[in-house]
Amino acid sequence: MTFIARFAGAALYAALALLAIAAPAAAQPADPDGQPVTILISIDGFRTDYLNRGITPNLSALAARGASAPMKPSFPTKTFPNHYTLVTGLRPDHHGIVSNNMIDPRRPALRFSLGDARQARDPFWWDEAEPLWVTAERAGIRTATMFWPGSEAAIRTIRPSDWNRFDQNIDERQRVETVLDWMRRPAEIRPRFVAMYFDRIDTDGHHFGPHSAKLNAAVAEVDSQIGYLIDGLAALGQQADIIVVSDHGMRAVDAARTIDLDALLAPESYLLVDSGPFAAIEPAAATDRTVYDALLMPHDHMQCWQKDDIPARLAYGSNPRVAEILCLAEAGWTIRRGAPPEEMSGGTHGWDNEDPQMQALFIAAGPRISATTPVRNLENVDVYALLAALVGVAPQPNDGDGDALVLFAAPEPEAETLLE
Per-residue confidence in pLDDT tens, the chain, 420 aa: 333 333 322 233 232 222 222 222 223 334 445 689 999 999 999 999 999 999 999 999 999 999 899 999 999 999 999 999 999 999 999 999 999 999 999 999 999 998 888 888 999 999 999 999 999 999 999 999 999 999 999 999 999 999 999 999 999 999 999 999 999 999 999 999 999 999 999 999 999 999 999 999 999 999 999 999 999 999 999 999 999 999 999 999 999 999 999 999 999 999 999 999 999 999 998 778 999 999 999 999 999 999 999 999 999 999 999 999 999 999 999 999 998 887 788 999 999 999 999 999 999 999 988 765 567 789 999 999 999 999 999 999 999 975 444 332 333 434 333 222
Model pLDDT, residue 269: 96
Cα dihedral: 16, 17, 20, 26 (round 10): 150
With beta carbons less than 8 A apart as the criterion, state whether 346 and 207 touch.
Answer: yes
pLDDT value for 344: 85
* List of domains in the chain: 4-251+353-418 (3.40.720.10), 258-344 (3.30.1360.180)
pLDDT at 395: 95
- Catalytic site includes residue 77: no
Q: Which residues of 6-18 are buried (b: 16+ CB within 10 A; e: fewer)?
A: ebeeeebebbbbb
Contact 287, 329 (CB under 8 A): no
Alpha-carbon span 347 to 364, nearest angstrom:
27
Q: For 57, how many CA atoms within 13 A lie in the half-sphere containing its CB?
A: 3
Q: Pick the catalytic residue: 48, 56, 77, 79?
A: 79
The pLDDT value recorded for residue 33 is: 55
Question: Can you tell me the distance from the alpha carbon of 203 to that of 213, in angstroms, rounded to the nearest whole number?
Answer: 13
Q: Would you call 414 exposed, middle or buried from its count of C-beta atoms within 10 A (0-12, 13-18, 19+)?
A: exposed
48 secondary structure, DSSP code: G
Chain centroid offset of residue 68 CA: 16
Query: By the 8 A CB rule, do 85 and 128 touch?
Result: no
**In this structure, what is the dihedral angle of CA atoms 50, 51, 56, 60, given to the nearest 10 degrees?**
170
322 closest CA partner among 45, 75, 72, 109: 75
185 CB contacts (<8 Å, ≥6 apart)?
none
